[in-house]
């Protein structure tokens, strides 16, 4: 467990022995008395608590927005945390001014979160456009102003910064001048940091991004021993090794959807993964956490099940330093789930990596998710399919289905049936019949048994209609 946590908050270096699972939200408000960061839902849904976290990657300082209500302070060790107070400049910044002049604030409770997210957009990008600036606000909710005025403020801010070409964000009035020194200060700080990597590290809670743990168990975590999985790791998280793609379990949704390798092999991955939570959640939610949380509707798990991925599982005792290269046990993701929240994993074991075979030129991939709201919602049912064909004959296929069983489901019978078959409407209809025999949905808040069965049928149809529009005809499927 971390003993001393050192980071820079706005322009001040902080060294603290507070429990590492204390949320940054509580630390800001209750210890540093920086009360500009607001507490709304405490579940990652509203964005009132959004802060910016900067991390050195080599010489480059990369900033991301995160929900401080789900952010354990131990995971900002060696990083730069920017709360709304850290954006104070002389007078109002251009973003603050735009919010005021466009009428984007009334009670003001959500406003710090919006200003943080919009400022982070300018901090993270070199070219600005209105659509992207508005998208960067996808984790912030306003209950009284209405989002139209706030969107206008985003557009106005983009116009302003586009007119300031050649200026830095400090000289353009967005950031206070101390930002320029942060990279050097972080380098010095990191050399000072001590983590407790020795002795017994199998603590009660192993924290990835914390986006599940801090919603479900935060009061208990706060009283327990914890460790952080790869929280300061700067290694390449996604790489090619032979004909396999290897992804570190600590890779976040943002890492995966922005990875060049993933975009080459899955051109629609940004579209698919933008359906996962909000930007601040995607910036923290890790692959390992998504898999081990074992939610039947977990989106990344669903995606990687359909790539017949393999997990590399190591003894947690070797974990704090991945550089020790502990020998890994290999388990196919489809065999990892033994029952509801029951895994082929001992408590002390940790997932270090996931791998899948790089898709061939004849491969196609589709991910579909239906939820009550298109964005910012968990799935009612999700499904993925990877398929390889030669002359319209299926030479390899893997199909997954979420929300229709106690575990994230790999549809083995459906895949076995489709293998070596021609892509034909009647074959697909028969495959759907087999898929429906493999599932065991229950009626719950996300829909009835019949609704979920109907959804899965439609999603499998959708995979084929999308990937083979010249062969598959909807009228002949139903």
Ligand X SMILES: Cc1cc2nc3c(=O)[nH]c(=O)nc-3n(C[C@H](O)[C@H](O)[C@H](O)COP(=O)(O)OP(=O)(O)OC[C@H]3O[C@@H](n4cnc5c(N)ncnc54)[C@H](O)[C@@H]3O)c2cc1C
8 A C-beta contact, residue 67 and residue 139: yes
Which residues would be at the binding site for ligand X (CB under 6 A)?
Answer: 43-45, 205-213, 215, 229, 249, 276-277, 281, 284-286, 288-290, 292-293, 298-300, 350-351, 378
Q: Does 332 bind ligand FES (CB under 6 A)?
A: no
355 interface partner picked from ligand FES, ligand X, none, CB below 5 to 8 A per type: none
Q: Does 146 bind ligand FES (CB under 6 A)?
A: no
**CA-angle at 150, arms to 146 and 151, nearest 5°:** 110
Helices and strands (H and E) in the chain: how many: 19, 18
Nearest CA to 26 among 63, 64, 66, 71?
71
| x/- letters, 73..112, toward ligand FES (CB under 6 A) | --------------------------------xxxxxxx-
Nearer to ligand X, 249 or 409 (CB): 249
Q: What stretches of 274-332 show up as alpha helix (H) in DSSP?
A: 279-282, 287-293, 299-305
292 interface partner picked from ligand X, ligand FES, none, CB below 5 to 8 A per type: ligand X
In this structure, what token pair is assigned to residue 363?
């491969």
How far apart are the C-alpha atoms of 46 and 249, rounded to whole Å? 27
Instruction: Give the long-range contacts of residues 429-432, CB within 8 A, separation 24 or more.
Output: 429/477, 429/478, 431/460, 432/457, 432/460, 432/461, 432/477
Q: Does 230 bind ligand FES (CB under 6 A)?
A: no
Q: How many CA atoms lie within 13 A of 415 on its CB side?
A: 21
In the bound complex, what is the minimum distance in angstroms from residue 438's beta carbon to ligand FES? 37
Name the residue whose CB lies closest to ligand X: 289
Q: How many CB atoms lie within 10 A of CB 425?
A: 17
In the bound complex, what is the minimum distance in angstroms from residue 281's beta carbon to ligand FES? 9
Per CB under 6 A, the segment of 47-55, 72-80, 304-312, 463-471 that binds ligand FES is 47-55
Nearer to ligand FES, 107 or 478 (CB): 107
* Phi/psi of residue 22, nearest 5 degrees: -60, 135
How far apart are the C-alpha atoms of 442 and 323, rounded to whole Å? 44
Q: Give the binding-site size for ligand FES (rule: CB under 6 A).
A: 23
Q: Does 468 bind ligand FES (CB under 6 A)?
A: no
- The residue assigned the tokens 């989106």 is 299
288 interface partner picked from ligand X, ligand FES, none, CB below 5 to 8 A per type: ligand X
290 interface partner picked from ligand FES, ligand X, none, CB below 5 to 8 A per type: ligand X
In the bound complex, what is the minimum distance in angstroms from residue 94's beta carbon to ligand FES? 19
Residue 147 exposed, middle or buried by CB count within 10 Å (0-12, 13-18, 19+): middle
Q: Could you tell me how many residues make up the chain?
A: 478
In this structure, what token pair is assigned to residue 109?
């409770």
| x/- letters, 20..39, toward ligand FES (CB under 6 A) | -------------------x
Q: Does 257 bind ligand FES (CB under 6 A)?
A: no
Residues that bind ligand FES (CB under 6 A): 39-42, 44-49, 67, 69, 105-111, 142-145
């Amino acid at each position: 467990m971390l003993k001393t946590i050192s980071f820079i908050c706005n322009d001040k270096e902080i060294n603290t022995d507070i429990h590492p699972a204390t949320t940054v939200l509580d630390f800001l408000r209750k210890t540093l008395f920086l009360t500009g960061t607001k507490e709304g839902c405490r579940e990652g849904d509203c964005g009132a608590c959004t802060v910016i976290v900067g991390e050195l990657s080599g010489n480059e300082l990369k900033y991301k927005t995160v929900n401080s209500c789900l952010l354990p302070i131990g995971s900002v060790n060696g990083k730069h945390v920017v709360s709304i107070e850290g954006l104070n400049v002389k007078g109002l910044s251009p973003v603050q001014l735009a919010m005021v002049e466009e009428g984007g604030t009334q009670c003001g409770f959500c406003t710090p979160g919006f200003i943080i997210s919009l400022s982070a957009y300018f901090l993270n990008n070199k070219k600005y456009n209105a659509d992207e600036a508005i998208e960067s606000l996808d984790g912030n909710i306003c209950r009284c102003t209405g989002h139209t005025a706030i969107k206008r403020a985003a557009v106005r801010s983009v116009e302003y910064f586009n007119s300031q070409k050649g200026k830095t964000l400090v000289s353009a009035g967005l950031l206070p001048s101390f930002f320029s020194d942060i990279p050097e200060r972080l380098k010095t700080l990191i050399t000072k940091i001590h983590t407790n990597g020795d002795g017994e590290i199998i603590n009660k809670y192993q924290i990835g991004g914390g986006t599940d743990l801090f919603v479900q168990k935060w009061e208990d975590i706060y009283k327990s021993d914890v460790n952080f999985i790869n929280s300061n790791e700067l290694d390449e998280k996604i790489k090619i090794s032979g004909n396999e793609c290897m992804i570190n379990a600590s890779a976040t949704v943002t890492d995966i959807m922005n990875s060049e390798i993933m975009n080459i092999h899955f051109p629609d991955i940004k579209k698919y993964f933008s359906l996962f939570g909000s930007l601040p959640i995607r910036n923290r939610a890790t692959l390992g956490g998504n898999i081990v949380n074992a939610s039947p509707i977990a989106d990344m798990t669903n995606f990687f099940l359909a790539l017949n991925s393999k997990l590399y599982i190591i003894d947690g005792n070797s974990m704090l330093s991945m550089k020790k290269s502990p020998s890994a046990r290999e388990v196919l993701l489809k065999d990892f789930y033994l029952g509801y929240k029951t895994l082929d994993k001992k408590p002390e074991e940790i997932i270090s990596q996931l791998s899948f075979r790089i898709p061939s030129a004849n491969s196609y991939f589709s991910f579909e998710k239906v939820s009550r709201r298109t964005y910012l919602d968990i799935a009612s049912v999700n499904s993925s399919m990877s398929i390889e064909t030669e002359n319209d004959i299926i030479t390899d296929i893997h199909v997954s289905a979420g929300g229709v069983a106690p575990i994230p489901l790999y549809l083995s019978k459906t895949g076995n049936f489709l293998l070596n078959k021609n892509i034909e409407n009647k074959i697909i209809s028969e495959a759907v019949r087999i898929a429906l025999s493999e599932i065991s949905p229950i009626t719950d808040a996300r829909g009835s048994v019949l609704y979920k069965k109907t959804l899965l049928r439609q999603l499998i149809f959708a995979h084929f209609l999308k990937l083979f529009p010249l062969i598959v005809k909807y009228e002949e499927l139903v």
